[in-house]
Amino acid sequence: MMQRIQHITKRIQEGRLKELIAQWRWMGIYIKRYALLVVVYTLLGASGSVLGLGTSMVSKELVDVVSGQSSGRLAAVAAAYVGVGVSQLLINAVKTRLSLRIRLKITNEIKTDIFMQILRTDWESLAHYRSGDLLYRINGDAGMVATNILSFIPNMVSVLITFGGALLVMLQNDPIMALIALGGAPLSFWSTRYSMRKMREYQKQQQETASSRMALNTETLQNLQMIKAFGVVDHFIGLYKKAQDETMRLSMDQNKYQSKMTVLTGMIGQCIGYACYGFAIYRLWQGQITYGTMTMFVSMASSLRGSFSSVLNLLPTALRAGISAGRIMEIVNLPRESVEDEKEAQKLKKTAERTGIRVALHQVTFGYQDGAPVYENANLCADPGEIVGLIGPSGQGKTTTLRILLGLFRVQRGSAMVEAPGKAALPISSGTRCLFSYIPQGNTLFSGTIADNLRMLSPGASDEAIISALQTACAWEFIEPLPQGINTPVGEGGQRFSEGQKQRLSIARALLQNAPVLLLDEATSALDMATERRVLRSIMKRQPRQTVIVTAHRPSVLSLCSRVYKIQAGSVKPVDEAEIREFLEATP
């Protein structure tokens, strides 16, 4: 007894029990949210279990009437037998349809809720996870949680009704038979408890492997052009086969272990079944029971053993759900983005239509969580109507600075602010993101039409407004000749367009948003110098009060800038024309 207490204490100290309770408490939020649907589903399952017990009892009466050992009316008993059977069919039909509707509703809403929480998670915290891993947690793990929320409680209730009902009937008619039927319970419980630890390990490995496989598939398809261009198709096929082989190995190992445990518990069940059947025959031979009673005893003993096994089989299901819940909790418990200034930022945006927006960093120190500071005590400002340039070697902090302005990163010290002349300044956060339009490095086009891509940030934009933005970005010149114009399909990643054309489409999309601050991260690098200057001048002509901040390495851009800051070696400082020329000459 003392050893048992010590074992339980150790498990609690290891945190396994606490972890499992926390996981099911988290799932309890959804169980409570969909309590009515779960109750309806549970009642349907319970009614099926009750009718199952009723079938066994009616069968007894029917056998006794037919064998002449009962004076009951044959027609009434037969009608009851048929009625119970038909009722089971009807209830099962309703249960099947209703369960599908409930399962789809709960699954979709849980997945949507988790998807929403992930998208609203702090970007810096989320950046440590691969997109394929997140995708699997949204779909695979969330699906597992939703399925178990719907099935675990109703199944447990149904099994307990079957178990309790069968046990009660057998205790009332023959307590010895009930004890024989329960004879394998301790062994079955011990074997299930022993297998739980092993099953937890297998399940965790399976889900982690599936998540890694999803990440590999996602990254491979996203970079298929590069894979083909570099001639490494066979390498990635090898990685895929390796991942599949690992999945198969884990599945076979788990199946081998489960088969052993199934054979063990099955043998225990068979022995108990034979004992029950033999005892029933003995009682019948002694004339102590009727044929109908023997039939009922055998049926009830089978239900008793089957329901007990079902209770034990539900435990691994709860374990799998807990592991999936834990993987989701790991993501949804990450810090959320702060949006407390969103209303104030929207008011500031309206004011900015007349006055423009000033952006300023004051004595800012920023560094990634796992590295040295990117820069310390940095100062930067950009006023309405200005183009401000950021230069510096790659990896020194130019893109990071834009991400700070977008509220994706939080500064460790100092302040990052936006303000309109004569209005109170607001600290930069995700809530002030509405003040910025952003064109990042690389391709950011999505499947759909050109119009779909541009309306992504401005859903109500008219065709005329879209064409105007395309003209400002010097993109209308290659869109107008297309047969379908702005309704031309783009394709995944904008496959039909050149890099320069994709950049101009991205610029047009940002302009359509009409934000007071425009951030361009090497957004014109694929354009020739003449087009690049034309685009920038057109932008400033379109919105003279707009604040533009660009990262660039080309003199054609920097010559248009009101100010240029150099980010290098942990510092941010303004530079003059001579220092700009020196940097450009030193840049390969």
Distances (CA, A) of 320 to 22, 112, 201, 431, 478: 14, 21, 10, 38, 54
- Assigned token pair, 413: 């010290």
Check residue 495 and give its pLDDT: 76
Cβ pair 387, 548 in contact under 8 A: yes
pLDDT in tens, 295-333: 766 666 666 666 666 666 676 677 777 888 888 888 888
What's the mean pLDDT in 246-274?
76
Res. 1: pLDDT tops 50: no
Confidence of residue 13 (pLDDT cuts 50, 70, 90): very low
3 state DSSP class of 468: helix
The Cα–Cα gap between 224 and 219 comes to: 8
Q: Residue 150: what residue type?
A: L
* Average pLDDT taken over every residue of the chain: 79
DSSP for 226-244, written as a single string: HHHHTT-HHHHHHHHHHHH
Full-model pTM: 0.69
HSE-up (13 A, CA, CB side) for residue 555: 11
Res. 119: pLDDT tops 80: yes
Instruction: Report the range of poorest mean pLDDT among 134-138, 294-298, 508-512.
Output: 294-298
The Cα–Cα gap between 447 and 428 comes to: 31
Instruction: Report the range of poorest mean pLDDT among 126-140, 192-206, 530-544.
Output: 192-206
Check residue 63 and give its pLDDT: 67
3 state DSSP class of 548: strand
Confidence of residue 2 (pLDDT cuts 50, 70, 90): very low
The Cα–Cα gap between 210 and 204 comes to: 10
Q: Which helix (H) or strand (E) holds 418?
A: strand 413-419
Distances (CA, A) of 566 to 211, 390, 408, 410, 581: 41, 6, 21, 21, 12
What's the mean pLDDT in 503-524?
88
What's the mean pLDDT in 8-33?
67
Check residue 210 and give its pLDDT: 83
CA 80 to mean position of chain CA atoms: 50
Res. 588: pLDDT tops 90: no
Instruction: Report the range of poorest mean pLDDT among 228-232, 262-266, 387-391.
Output: 262-266
pLDDT in tens, 433-463: 889 989 887 767 888 899 998 898 888 889 9
Question: For the chain, which domains are there?
Answer: 2-332 (1.20.1560.10), 342-586 (3.40.50.300)
Check residue 476 and give its pLDDT: 92
Cα 365–368–372 angle (5° rounding)? Answer: 70
What's the mean pLDDT in 549-553?
87
pLDDT in tens, 369-385: 766 788 889 999 999 99
Check residue 257 and give its pLDDT: 78
3 state DSSP class of 561: coil
3 state DSSP class of 587: coil
Check residue 5 and give its pLDDT: 41
The Cα–Cα gap between 418 and 429 comes to: 10
Instruction: Report the range of poorest mean pLDDT among 94-108, 343-357, 543-557.
Output: 94-108
Cα 351–357–363 angle (5° rounding)? Answer: 135
Strand order through the sheet with 517-521: 436-439, 517-521, 547-551, 387-391, 563-568, 571-574
pLDDT in tens, 187-205: 666 666 666 667 777 777 8
The Cα–Cα gap between 286 and 267 comes to: 28
**3-state helix, strand and coil shares in percent for the chain, rounded to the nearest 5:** 70, 10, 20
Cβ pair 65, 295 in contact under 8 A: no
User: Where do runs of H (alpha helix) occur along 120-232?
Assistant: 123-126, 131-136, 142-173, 175-181, 185-222, 224-229
The two beta strands, 358-367 and 373-382, are antiparallel
Check residue 337 and give its pLDDT: 77
User: Which residues fall within 8 angstroms of residue 226, CB to CB, at 6 or more apart?
Assistant: none
Confidence of residue 288 (pLDDT cuts 50, 70, 90): confident
Res. 96: pLDDT tops 70: yes
